[in-house]
Amino acid sequence: MQIDENENSWDALYFIGVKTMKIYCFPWCKGKSKPNNTLPFQTRHEAEQAGYRACKKCHSGLPYGSWEDHEEVLKIKAPKEFSFKENLRYLSRSTNECLFTIIDNKIYRAIPIDHETPLVEISSENDTILTVRFFGNSTPKQKWVRAGVARYIREWFDFDTDLIPFYELAKTDLLLSQPVSNFYGLRNVGIPDLFEALAWGILGQQINLTYAYTLKRRFVERFGKHVEWDGTKYWIFPSPKDIAMLSVDDLTDLKMTIKKCEYLIGIAQLLTNEELTKEKLMNAGDYKKAEKMLVNIRGIGPWTANYVLMRCLRFPSAFPIDDVGLHNSIKLILKADKKPSKEEILKLSSTWTNWESYATFYLWRMLY
């Protein structure tokens, strides 16, 4: 995509922060205020790290040319390195997924934006555009809420990452060439909500994936909210507030360990009082510092920390090096008799700098 300052272009060259309101705008926003009350930002990311929010008038939270708003239908531009089918295959890995369903190559789910929970059907005919149709009389009346939905979906599919350098690197890589050719167009389908990502990491500790999905379903159906339409319930993940005030007793009949119950409640409390936020982790300075912030929290070890940094915060160098799936995948590709040692993995991954996260995601994909 070409970038220029034209209003029809992909994105703006800079953004204007409005100090009093802590919002950032496109340069062409009509709502901008007096120059002495503004400051420039080079990128959207920089503005958001400084604690500025997207403007509700000019929808600066999304690259200008990245979406079209037709009210009941949104069109979201996909990057060239995208295969809807590959991402659907990944999302179909469990029949017990409780936060979305896939029917006839279309994804159905509720997306919480502020106090609204619109229901969306996501489809794509040719991989270049995602079509997002609101259903169940849930079309958001305000454009900024629809922009929030578009943003959530772009983030879910990681549309802002340019995969070309990764694919270049993978072509000649002993471990990555096969997964990248098998699953071309797969994105690191993420978990944009921090509590959901942390909770999923904790629920999955020391159990198999099938049981982790069962625990997630019990947790969501017990404590989450839902929107019902046409006999189907569309669930949204419980908010930290809903969990922070619970006691271990409230969670025990979900049949997970007491420790996991304590971890979940503890983390929900940290998020509720904003001791832990996405912004704080993004602002930690670098990946290692963010990892340290997380492992200092009870219940979060290096694996969970890296999992969350990879799937939610999208630190490109997040690397759950102790992951059993990663080890099995490497063993499979190398047709080895035993799993690789940590030293061997470090050697094999030495050229992956800043792509460790994507490399892991693609290697996991080899296992199912």
Which residues are tagged catalytic? 323
Q: What is the DSSP letter of 85?
A: H
Nearer to Zn ion, 17 or 240 (CB): 17
Q: How far is the CB of 137 from Zn ion (least distance, A)?
A: 29
What sign has the CA pseudo-torsion 228, 230, 232, 236? Answer: negative
Q: How far is the CB of 48 from Zn ion (least distance, A)?
A: 14
Nearer to Zn ion, 31 or 40 (CB): 31
| 151 closest CA partner among 53, 226, 22 | 53
Nearer to Zn ion, 55 or 300 (CB): 55
Query: Residue numbers of the site for Zn ion (CB under 5 A)?
Result: 25, 29, 31, 55, 57-58
Nearer to Zn ion, 66 or 205 (CB): 66
Instruction: Show Cβ contacts of residue 40 under 8 Å, excluding neighbours closer than 6 positions.
Output: 14, 15, 16, 17
DSSP 281-321: HHTTSSHHHHHHHHHTSTT--HHHHHHHHHHTS--TT---T
Q: How far is the CB of 12 from Zn ion (least distance, A)?
A: 11
Going along 10-105, which residue ranges are E strands?
Answer: 15-18, 23-25, 38-41, 53-54, 67-70, 73-77, 101-103
Q: How far is the CB of 49 from Zn ion (least distance, A)?
A: 18
Q: How far is the CB of 59 from Zn ion (least distance, A)?
A: 8
Instruction: Show Cβ contacts of residue 146 under 8 Å, excluding neighbours closer than 6 positions.
Output: 69, 71, 74, 139, 140
Q: How far is the CB of 132 from Zn ion (least distance, A)?
A: 23
Residues 165, 353 contacting (CB under 8 angstroms) = no
Going along 83-148, which residue ranges are E strands?
Answer: 101-103, 106-110, 119-123, 129-135
Instruction: Show Cβ contacts of residue 46 under 8 Å, excluding neighbours closer than 6 positions.
Output: 15
Cβ-defined contacts of 242-248 (< 8 Å, 24+): 242/268, 243/195, 243/268, 244/268, 244/269, 244/271, 244/272
Q: How far is the CB of 60 from Zn ion (least distance, A)?
A: 6
Nearer to Zn ion, 57 or 75 (CB): 57
Helix, strand, coil shares of the chain as percentages rounded to 5? 40, 15, 45
Alpha-carbon gap, residue 128 to 132, rounded angstroms: 13
Q: What is the DSSP letter of 78?
A: P
Alpha-carbon gap, residue 169 to 151, rounded angstroms: 29
Nearer to Zn ion, 59 or 216 (CB): 59
Nearer to Zn ion, 60 or 161 (CB): 60
